[in-house]
Amino acid sequence: MKIGTLLLALFCLPLLNCKQNNENQFVFFLHNRFLEAHPITAEHPEFGRVHYHEIIAAFEASGLQVISEQRNGNVNARNYAEGMVTQVDSLLKQGVLAKNITVVGTSKGGYIAQYVSTIANNPELNFVFIASFQDADIENIPDINFCGNILNIYERSDSFGVSALARKNSSRCELANFKEIELNTGLGHGFLFKPMKVWIKPTIQWAKGNYTLD
């Protein structure tokens, strides 16, 4: 898998600071499938533009250091996740604490994040899965195993995201923190196209170690 030069640039810059401050908090943000095949400015016929840069800006405004890139083509989720795990491991080797690393994914990005959780198998990492679990996944994607501090966010009117308790219960890793949020925006899958406070705020809280979301 090829990690783009954008990701590498964003990744290498904060590493200069990690050596001096292991309390830096990092977010890997993985966008949805739509941006894999369309430019940033493209309009989804139903949900409009993906506010990719605005979402990243919302995370950065809270003090988080964001690592992200626009994926090209229909990438294989597991293969891409393997490359992400390499990036996570690099941060850990630089002295960044696992509790200060969060992998956030929306829709397909959430499935990639689930594979990162599976492959990394590190119970201290943080993960936020957004609109990225369906009941059929237990049978259709049996190799996913949740591991880490897991926050699952889904929208009541969205058929592409439901409670992931079934996956939690089938996972072999003991989860110190697991929480779910059911939204009721009425926007269907479109809620994740914008940096809406209802999912951005709890994601930031989770990345900062507030597992009760107080």
120 assigned to some structural domain: yes
46 phi and psi angles, rounded to 5 deg: -110, -35
Tokens standing for residue 169: 């219960």
Tell me the β-bridge partners of 136.
Answer: none
pLDDT of residue 22: 66
pLDDT of residue 2: 39
125 assigned to some structural domain: yes
In single-letter form, the type of residue at position 95 comes to G
214 assigned to some structural domain: no
pLDDT of residue 159: 87
Place of tokens 């493209």: 42
pLDDT of residue 18: 42
Q: Where are any strands of DSSP class E within 45-147?
A: 48-49, 65-68, 101-106, 126-130
Average pLDDT over residues 163-174: 97
* Residue 111 banded pLDDT, cuts 50, 70, 90: very high
pLDDT in tens, 128-148: 999 999 999 999 999 999 999
212 assigned to some structural domain: no
* Residue 1 banded pLDDT, cuts 50, 70, 90: very low
* Residue 17 banded pLDDT, cuts 50, 70, 90: very low
pLDDT in tens, 144-168: 999 999 999 999 999 889 999 999 9
Four-residue CA torsion sign, 110, 15, 177, 54? negative
Say yes or no to pLDDT of 14 above 50.
no
Q: Range of 79's domain?
A: 5-16+23-207
**Per-residue CA distances from 104 to 21, 28, 192, 197 (Å):** 22, 6, 12, 15
Nearest C-alpha neighbor of 133 from the set 115, 148, 119, 121? 115
CA–CA gap between residue 57 and residue 51 (Å, rounded): 10
213 assigned to some structural domain: no
134 assigned to some structural domain: yes
CATH at 123? 3.40.50.1820
166 assigned to some structural domain: yes
162 assigned to some structural domain: yes
pLDDT in tens, 180-203: 999 999 999 999 999 999 999 999
CA–CA gap between residue 22 and residue 14 (Å, rounded): 11
Number of domains in the chain: 1
pLDDT in tens, 33-60: 999 999 999 999 898 899 999 999 999 9
Nearest C-alpha neighbor of 82 from the set 106, 112, 37? 112
pTM of the model: 0.91
Tokens standing for residue 50: 């993906």
Least confident of 18-22, 69-73, 81-85, 155-159: 18-22
Say yes or no to pLDDT of 4 above 80.
no
pLDDT of residue 23: 81
pLDDT of residue 7: 43
